[in-house]
Structure 1
């Protein structure tokens, strides 16, 4: 196994979670707090928020709020309306098709990179901890906990692969899909197959089997994306 140190890498425990507050500038604090409220659906899809309103809510001036909104707009989560603040962008079934096309391609590339170089003991432990947490969450019928562990597994794959650009892009598209995943969580079949898929991917990476790792992961992501789009269509959720 590769013994390369990975202690400097980390994956946020949840979407929108940033570094400790005392390490953040005001624009960063505004960014993470607004983002958290969007991803947790406190700021619902299609809703408008005035710059002044956000500044009062966050107890800061409008300048850092404006900088945060620009950053969120660049990430595709909001659109800025001059003199009106921001609008939270909805995500449609068509958006999800495009998002999962990107996630499938880039995560599969990350898996190939990992399979080619191998996993350190620490990396293997991190991935298996996430899968074990998924198993435990399902045993407890805790789908929210399962979804957090599932997300942690996928983000670990891209964080550990060594390509920072892949990790940055994948994180952006996970953010865009987060609300859809969480709001359809109770509508989907019990995700036992996802846990099994993850174990198969890790085993193939550990074995250095690039083709098996790539094919397992691609099939897993294609199936996941198709299921989410079918749920949106089935329940008439044109956008979330």
Structure 2
């Protein structure tokens, strides 16, 4: 575990504040399952791993708690929370609303040629992740794709909202690839989003983005069955109830 944490640490900008670097590394480690659901986190161990004081570690824990990724239990310790299916569905609902609005705006206003070319280049780079099964790289490029689209229509606030809610989704996405959701399927969805925006088809762009954002909902029941220990409510809730919840949304 320490080796993988240090690898992520080395990829961060060493000019940044320690607490921000720690938060980024721990957040990514939780999303990528380096730090597994239910795992206890030690302030001292993490401080020792990165050769920092315990104060920025404590601050990172607080931010992770606010993001719903860890639970700080007084006198007992800090734990990575298990994935809540309800939290995932709620986060997906918010992200779909935001990203569909972005796609519609992009189709209505049109994207400049430079942004369209950048989106297409990102898709080509995603395709190069398929054969080597470079899933970490694919997820980085996937995030760049959605960020580029939002910033392409000058919706920085929309991207910030997406970043806030997508941590819960990203953990499920990491579990879903490649078995539940092959990345070539996601690449095909990205391609359709760009194509519909490029031809200024507002309704088709909105639909393409909605289908893409609902992919998590399609794979969630399979993931709960395959990884029950990673979900906090896998034993008590029924998949049928979740389907009803999604229909109501």
Whether the TM-score (by the shorter chain) exceeds 0.5 is yes
2:29 alignment counterpart: 37
**Aligned with residue 134 of structure 1, among 121, 126, 132:** 126
Work out the CA distance in 2 between the residues paired with 1:30 and 1:193.
33
1:180 alignment counterpart: 172
TM-score, normalised relative to structure 1 = 0.80
Compared with structure 1, are the counterparts of its residues 141 and 20 closer, same or farther at alpha carbon in structure 2 (3 Å cutoff)?
A: closer
Deviation at 1:189, TM superposition (A): 5.1
**Aligned with residue 21 of structure 1, among 14, 18, 21:** 14
| Contact 1:111/1:161 (<8 A) preserved | no
Deviation at 1:108, TM superposition (A): 0.6
The yes-or-no answer on 1:232 pairing with 2:213 is: no
The yes-or-no answer on 1:211 pairing with 2:215 is: no
Compared with structure 1, are the counterparts of its residues 141 and 27 closer, same or farther at alpha carbon in structure 2 (3 Å cutoff)?
A: closer
2:60 alignment counterpart: 68
Deviation string for 1:169-199 (max 9, x for gaps)?
A: 2112222222221222132253434322222
| Contact 1:46/1:89 (<8 A) preserved | yes
Q: Segments of 4+ in structure 1 off by > 6 A?
A: 15-18
Residue 21 of structure 1 aligns to a residue in which SS? coil
Aligned length: 223
Residue 115 of structure 1 aligns to a residue in which SS? helix
TM-score, normalised relative to structure 2 = 0.78
| Contact 2:38/2:79 (<8 A) preserved | yes
Deviation at 1:53, TM superposition (A): 2.6
1:1-240 aligned within 5 A: 20-22=13-15, 24-138=16-130, 140=131, 142=133, 144=135, 145-188=137-180, 190-222=182-214, 224-235=215-226, 237=228, 239-240=230-231
Residues 158-167 or 63-72, more deviating = 158-167
Deviation at 1:58, TM superposition (A): 2.1
Compared with structure 1, are the counterparts of its residues 65 and 84 closer, same or farther at alpha carbon in structure 2 (3 Å cutoff)?
A: farther
Structure 1, gaps ≥5 residues long: 1-14
Compared with structure 1, are the counterparts of its residues 16 and 119 closer, same or farther at alpha carbon in structure 2 (3 Å cutoff)?
A: farther
